Structure 1
Amino acid sequence: MKKVFSLVMISVLGGILTLGGYLLFFDNDQIFVQESPGIPAYTPVNMSSLPEAANADFTEAAGKTVNAVVHVKNMAITRNPFYGTREGRTLQGTGSGVIVSPDGYIVTNNHVIQNANQLQVTLNNNKSYMAEVIGTDPNTDIALLKIDAEDLEYLPFGDSDNAEIGEWVLAVGNPFNLTSTVTAGIISAKSRDLGMNNHPSSFIQTDAAINPGNSGGALVNIYGELIGINTAITSQTGTYVGYAFAVPSNNARKIVEDILEFGDVQQGILGIRGAQAANLPKELEVKISEGVYVYQVEEGSGADKAGIKSGDIIRKIDDVVINKFSDLTGYIGSKRPEDVVKVQVIRDGDNKVFDVRLTKYEVFQIKEIGLEVANATSAELKQRNISNGVKITRGLTPQMQNEQLYGTIIIAIDNEPVKNIEDVERIMNSRKSGDPISVTFVSPNGEKQKYVWR
């Protein structure tokens, strides 16, 4: 009898501890971005014959993927502070990467390789190479590396626009330095905006287990096609609890191609400022809850020339349905300037379609004061009765974001007039570091003010 009673008490105690651990683990979730320390092939995703869950076989996809996913080590050179002699290399952090061409181009996350002195890449066959950074895009957290190797196994880019919620996927990477780890799950959602880097984002969400070290690894479908680059997780502890996010392959592929062809990322824009239709104030009397409401159309932009107007609600771009703002930013992020897209809008209850030629997003970040600026239109200058200036597009720091300076015109920096962002870049690059910065503003109501940053 005593033995039975002891077993019952042990079971009850175990249940209490399990429940308590569950509540502790899942309380107060927050976004945690893993901190680590020729043009690629393109293959469309075939969604016509996905196997049912009971018959899903991941062996072929895993076999195609593990040899194309590498271990990336971020190394720092250490030196003797007194004698300046070289002492060796220190491991700053680790992550993963995906080989996307047979001659050694590798896609990874920018935060994996950030501030690296040396990068070491280890293949699944344990061969190691030193890697060169070809280019980066901090806004999307994508970086392109190159190693000196040939005839490598690589992953073709799939078409992430065709990936579907509920589709089986594999995450392949090196969590906790465990090389060639494969986990399975489904696509939980698309076009997730995490608000990373104070920049609109559009991620694929999956419940495939992703942990620190998976950053930069592959998210593939069951055919072994690359549909995402694993980037972030949601967790209280920094380890996986069921939510993980990947940069869609269409966006990653476009960034890679831009870096190889132009040396930097070519960002195309519609030329509108908008908001999600469901979040509009009641006084606008908008009865549609899905889509992007156009608040403002930039003068001279592709949207302006095509005929899109303030008050339109964007519901579709090409064949992509636009339910929320991140659907729009995600799709446009896979395009470049001069591309033409079909934009379907609802205007006064009617559907209208416009062919919009994307224009180049040209901005300059004044990092010293935490502001991003773009060229002002003639209408914006005329409205304030001024002849020159650049407009503030966003704050780069929480403090500047709280100032709500969008639309404010900067007419001079250090008492020197500015006409465009080239003037701003020239002035900022010619000034001495540490000197005070004076900026003359004209607010939307025409009031002129001058501030000095010391």
Structure 2
Amino acid sequence: MLKLCYLSLTILALSFAADAGRAEGDVRVPTSRADISLSFVPLVKEATPAVVNIYARRVVQSRSPFQDDPFFGNLFRDFGTSRPRVQNSLGSGVIVSADGFVVSNYHVVGQADQIRVVLNDRREYEARVLIGDEESDLAILKIEAEDMPHLDLRDSDTVEVGELVLAIGNPFGVGQTVSSGIVSGLARSGAAAGNARGYFIQTDAPINPGNSGGALIDVAGRLIGINTSILTRSGGSNGIGFAIPAALVAQFLDQARQGKTAFERPWAGATGQSVDAGLLDGLGLSRPEGVVLTAFHPASPLLQAGLRVGDVVVTVAGHPVNTPAEMLFRMSVQGPGRDVEMAFLRNGAETVVTVSLILPPEDPPRDARVLDDREVLTGMTVARINPAVLSELGLPLNLEGVVVLDPGRFGQRVGLRRGDILRRIDRFVVEGPGDVGPALRAAAPNVAIEAERGGQRLILRFRA
């Protein structure tokens, strides 16, 4: 009975696709043998040429576990000699323009030395990454080709729960595979695995390892999302997969065409949390909705627009937001350099303001310094904290001072990490990046560094 119901739904949806040229809302049920014999075949034939297999190769240097140890490094000098090692990754991608722009997941192609794109007709192309963003888990690649098969992007905000979809990719490396299902959820925030954070389309179309970067399409053959991960305990598909919406893909593609080499996302300069039932009385709301703002950076564009701590943001660009990740997604798809309307509640009354979407300011200048061969911690990079640095490292908005951008080999050996805030070196207070080198030299040979990590104070002592 369940199989018959699913078949009926499939036939009905395909009938809609076959009648795509009709006016929207002109819906009919299958009435003839020709209607009943419809299948996904025409749709698959049209869409699969634009979905590619991606083979990424990266050479890494394997290291001895004793290499940096001051004692065992000499004792086991010839043990586990450092040697190059090749890492290979397999995934999928989607051609989104006739001139060879390809979208995939960052975790498939990020940091790769060599990328090979293989079409389903077995043509092969070398590709290069134009933009890669670990946080969004998206990457835009370019192959040197023209008149390529490609998929058009659909406005993912028009997608609805229950729509039939196809997932196309290369699971387990067995070759291009098509699976079907429905959109089973929208506005999934923070649900995907890996580094991706944000807003996802949920589907029950089977997605397995190797499908990452592949296409999630509707019954008209339009791209609605890029498959990125699954929710599983066994490692296989359990019917809960996540796709990055095409709206964000469109913003990545636009920035790649502008020549950007890193994805630029607007900076809110604010923190917030979802409104739940426990916050209703304090906020004067009748039902849980929106994102309550809890803190601001002094340079925040939301603060400049008139928002305050305790305000509840309910829409961005006319779209409801209920989590901080969803709010950031709505700002990201608009892109920097634009103005956007935000509606918020204060004391139960709704107000709409216009917010300028800006990049995190480099004010004051970060003044990054790399400690040279004369310094105690050669190779360590430090910088002054500003909004751009806070955003880059994901640090709290209220931090000031000097931060470690890269501890370097020697800094890592004494226990420093990227994102550590340097407060004191022995008796010297660290006020700027230029203080670090002289303070280390003055403190040598017995050095004590007071740092802050994750809100906790730590003392690192070593002999230079």
TM over 0.5: yes
Aligned residues of 1:98 and 1:154 also touching (Cα < 8 A) = yes
Q: Is 1:162 aligned to 2:158, yes or no?
A: yes
Q: Is 1:389 aligned to 2:401, yes or no?
A: yes
**For residue 124 of structure 2, what is the amino acid of its counterpart?**
S
Deviation at 1:140, TM superposition (A): 0.9
Deviation at 1:230, TM superposition (A): 0.5
From 192, 199, 220, the counterpart of 1:202: 199
Change (3 A) 1:275 1:77: closer
Deviation at 1:228, TM superposition (A): 0.8
From 41, 46, 71, the counterpart of 2:53: 71
* Residues in 2 aligned to 1:387 and 1:70: alpha-carbon distance in whole angstroms: 44
Deviation at 1:120, TM superposition (A): 1.7
Unaligned runs of at least 5 residues, structure 2: 1-21, 62-83, 370-379, 390-397, 405-419, 441-446
Aligned residues of 2:318 and 2:342 also touching (Cα < 8 A) = no
Q: Deviations over 1:142-162 (max 9, x none)?
A: 112222222111112221122
Superposition pairs of residues 428-447 of structure 1, within 5 angstroms: 438=449, 440=451
From 198, 203, 223, the counterpart of 1:226: 223
Deviation at 1:255, TM superposition (A): 2.1
Q: Deviations over 1:209-255 (max 9, x none)?
A: 11111110011111211111100001112111100001111112212
* Residues in 1 aligned to 2:384 and 2:180: alpha-carbon distance in whole angstroms: 40
The corresponding residue for 1:99 is 95
* Residues in 1 aligned to 2:88 and 2:23: alpha-carbon distance in whole angstroms: 40
The corresponding residue for 1:265 is 263
* Residues in 1 aligned to 2:23 and 2:431: alpha-carbon distance in whole angstroms: 52
* Residues in 2 aligned to 1:222 and 1:316: alpha-carbon distance in whole angstroms: 30
* Residues in 2 aligned to 1:137 and 1:441: alpha-carbon distance in whole angstroms: 27
% same residue:
30
Aligned residues of 1:268 and 1:333 also touching (Cα < 8 A) = yes
Change (3 A) 1:440 1:210: closer
Which secondary structure state, in structure 1, belongs to the residue aligned with residue 184 of structure 2? strand
Which secondary structure state, in structure 1, belongs to the residue aligned with residue 333 of structure 2? coil
Using CA pairs under 8 Å that are at least 6 residues apart, name the structure with larger relative contact order, 1 or 2: 1
Q: Deviations over 1:279-309 (max 9, x none)?
A: 6557835543111111123323221121111
Superposition pairs of residues 404-443 of structure 1, within 5 angstroms: 417=430, 438=449, 440=451
Deviation at 1:417, TM superposition (A): 4.6
Deviation at 1:61, TM superposition (A): 3.5
Deviation at 1:50, TM superposition (A): 8.9
* Residues in 1 aligned to 2:175 and 2:41: alpha-carbon distance in whole angstroms: 17
Which secondary structure state, in structure 2, belongs to the residue aligned with residue 333 of structure 1? helix
* Residues in 2 aligned to 1:228 and 1:208: alpha-carbon distance in whole angstroms: 12
* Residues in 1 aligned to 2:269 and 2:60: alpha-carbon distance in whole angstroms: 48
* Residues in 2 aligned to 1:442 and 1:232: alpha-carbon distance in whole angstroms: 31
Deviation at 1:268, TM superposition (A): 0.2
From 121, 125, 136, the counterpart of 2:121: 125
Aligned residues of 2:337 and 2:357 also touching (Cα < 8 A) = yes
Which secondary structure state, in structure 2, belongs to the residue aligned with residue 179 of structure 1? coil
The corresponding residue for 1:329 is 328
Change (3 A) 1:158 1:354: same
Aligned residues of 1:311 and 1:347 also touching (Cα < 8 A) = yes
Which secondary structure state, in structure 1, belongs to the residue aligned with residue 144 of structure 2? coil
Which secondary structure state, in structure 1, belongs to the residue aligned with residue 276 of structure 2? helix
* Residues in 2 aligned to 1:124 and 1:89: alpha-carbon distance in whole angstroms: 29
Q: Deviations over 1:388-412 (max 9, x none)?
A: 73699xxxxxxxxxxxxxxx97667
From 444, 453, 460, the counterpart of 1:452: 460
* Residues in 1 aligned to 2:205 and 2:196: alpha-carbon distance in whole angstroms: 25
Change (3 A) 1:438 1:255: farther
Aligned residues of 2:137 and 2:195 also touching (Cα < 8 A) = no
Change (3 A) 1:123 1:442: closer
Aligned residues of 1:104 and 1:147 also touching (Cα < 8 A) = yes
Aligned residues of 2:59 and 2:87 also touching (Cα < 8 A) = no
Superposition pairs of residues 293-308 of structure 1, within 5 angstroms: 293-308=292-307
From 282, 285, 295, the counterpart of 1:284: 282
**For residue 319 of structure 1, what is the amino acid of its counterpart?**
G
Unaligned runs of at least 5 residues, structure 1: 1-45, 80-87, 378-385, 393-407
Change (3 A) 1:128 1:90: farther
Deviation at 1:440, TM superposition (A): 5.0
Deviation at 1:337, TM superposition (A): 2.2
* Residues in 2 aligned to 1:376 and 1:226: alpha-carbon distance in whole angstroms: 33
**For residue 350 of structure 1, what is the amino acid of its counterpart?**
A
Change (3 A) 1:244 1:373: farther
Change (3 A) 1:129 1:199: closer
* Residues in 2 aligned to 1:234 and 1:63: alpha-carbon distance in whole angstroms: 29
Superposition pairs of residues 350-365 of structure 1, within 5 angstroms: 350-361=349-360
Change (3 A) 1:78 1:305: closer
Which secondary structure state, in structure 1, belongs to the residue aligned with residue 271 of structure 2? strand
Aligned residues of 1:60 and 1:222 also touching (Cα < 8 A) = no
Q: CA RMSD in A?
A: 4.4
Q: Which moved more, 1:264-273 or 1:49-58?
A: 49-58
Deviation at 1:258, TM superposition (A): 2.3
Q: Deviations over 1:322-376 (max 9, x none)?
A: 233333122122122222111111111111111111221368999x99x996439
Change (3 A) 1:391 1:359: farther
* Residues in 1 aligned to 2:29 and 2:360: alpha-carbon distance in whole angstroms: 43
